[in-house]
A = this chain, B = another copy of it.
Amino acid sequence: MPNSDPEPAPKKELVTAYLKKVKTKVDACIFDFLPTTHEHPDIQELYQMILDYPQRAGKGLRPALCLLLCEVFGGDPKRAVNTAAALELLQNWLLIHDDIEDGSELRRGEPCLHQKHGIPMAINVGDALHCKMWEMLYRNTEILGENLSLKILSEFIQLSNQVVEGQHIELSWVHNNQWDIDEDDYLRMCIQKTAWYTCITPCRLGAIIGGATVEETDAFIEIGKSLGIAFQIQDDVLNLIGDVGRYGKEIGGDISEGKRTLVLIHLINSCNPPEANAVIEIMSHNRDEKDETEIHKVLQLMKKYNSIQYAQQCSTKFLMQAAEKFKQDFKHVPNNKAKQLFLSLIHFFVEREY
């Protein structure tokens, strides 16, 4: 870690142990809530399909951010578990629909839901889980009272609008076969599609439940933007050089799917025009028309022009921005365990290998 990080960062083991602890609590909440049996066999089948993605091993980063921030502001993280679980349901319905939209094959090491049951059923399962998310948020009225529950609903509404807009931007690029995308376009899409639901809202929710002021809560918009960008770039990098067993998606899947990533944008801007044309042509093919050789060729060029390395540096830069702003904005908050763990956790966003 660079010198700008004065506290000795608690070990990575502390973070993984904390993630595991949170996941156990949040999973218990989710599986206690989602229905499992029904006397009608078709509805029982739907319930099993709804459980599929939540049962696959996710990292649980979003719930961890939420519970940790609640603690940072002196709240009881138990009161935030239901809201953190709703963040996981959000993540899962988004992934089901996202996997269809991108024509993906693997998710968390297993075939995507639409690969198992076809697109029509998978769309409906995503919708079912989406509805369950609002139901879970409605339960907050019992846990947090009406006023706070409505505040949290409002956060989810704001977040949902951001995600579908970010998703549309990315789908438009694919639909229009658009390649004249610069870093700013990419970063904007990242903020809307990833940063809001991965970082900004989880942090804001934890802060709100923990009793933070409006000003403190709003600080997480900027912090979460930088952190979300760092997270997404690292995700793009892992998609290229990760280990399929740990990462859970096809390696190079983003190339197959024609995804615009920071790595790719750097490559197109760095290589010579014939290479750029070749890359764009390969990327524009439908995934069925792409063979291993083509994917390998793009990957080789990314390595030749240090595009992966460039993206990794950017990811670290955005992480440091987030960490610095957090330390700056929350100087007044006691430097307790939760605060230290938050800083370690966000480093994990970039250091993770899965």
**Chain B contacts for A119, CB-based, 8 A:** 100-101, 119
| Contact pick for A124, options B97, B120, B130, B141, CB 8 Å | B97
| Contact pick for A127, options B138, B141, B164, CB 8 Å | B164
**A121–B161 touching, CB < 8 Å:** no
Contact flags A124-136 to B (C-beta < 8 A → 1, else 0): 1101101110110
| Contact pick for A134, options B124, B127, B160, CB 8 Å | B160
Question: How many protomers of this protein does the assembly include?
Answer: 2
Q: From residue 31 to 59 of chain A, which have CB atoms closer than 8 A to chain B?
A: 40, 42-43, 45-46
Q: Is the CB of A17 closer than 8 A to any CB of chain B?
A: no
Q: Is the CB of A154 closer than 8 A to any CB of chain B?
A: yes
**Complex Cα–Cα for A188 and B175 (A):** 40
One of A166-174, A233-241, A319-327 contacting the partner: A166-174
One of A79-87, A145-153, A285-293 contacting the partner: A145-153
**A157–B172 touching, CB < 8 Å:** no
Q: Is the CB of A331 closer than 8 A to any CB of chain B?
A: no
Taking CB as reference atom, which chain B residue is nearest A117? B175
| Contact pick for A120, options B45, B120, B135, B171, CB 8 Å | B171
**A101–B123 touching, CB < 8 Å:** yes
Q: Is the CB of A118 closer than 8 A to any CB of chain B?
A: yes
**A135–B121 touching, CB < 8 Å:** no
Taking CB as reference atom, which chain B residue is nearest A130? B130
Q: Return A110 CB to nearest CB of chain B, in Å.
A: 19
> For chain A, what secondary structure do more than half of its interface residues adopt (helix, strand, loop), or is it mixed?
helix
**Complex Cα–Cα for A167 and B127 (A):** 10
**A161–B97 touching, CB < 8 Å:** no
**A150–B134 touching, CB < 8 Å:** no
Q: Return A148 CB to nearest CB of chain B, in Å.
A: 11
Q: Return A153 CB to nearest CB of chain B, in Å.
A: 6
**Chain B contacts for A125, CB-based, 8 A:** 168
**Chain B contacts for A154, CB-based, 8 A:** 138
**Complex Cα–Cα for A124 and B130 (A):** 13
| Contact pick for A118, options B45, B164, B175, CB 8 Å | B175
**Complex Cα–Cα for A42 and B117 (A):** 31
A–B complex contacts, Cβ < 8 Å, 20 sampled: A40-B188, A43-B165, A45-B172, A46-B164, A46-B165, A118-B175, A119-B119, A120-B174, A124-B171, A127-B130, A128-B164, A128-B165, A128-B168, A131-B164, A134-B153, A135-B160, A135-B161, A141-B150, A150-B150, A153-B153
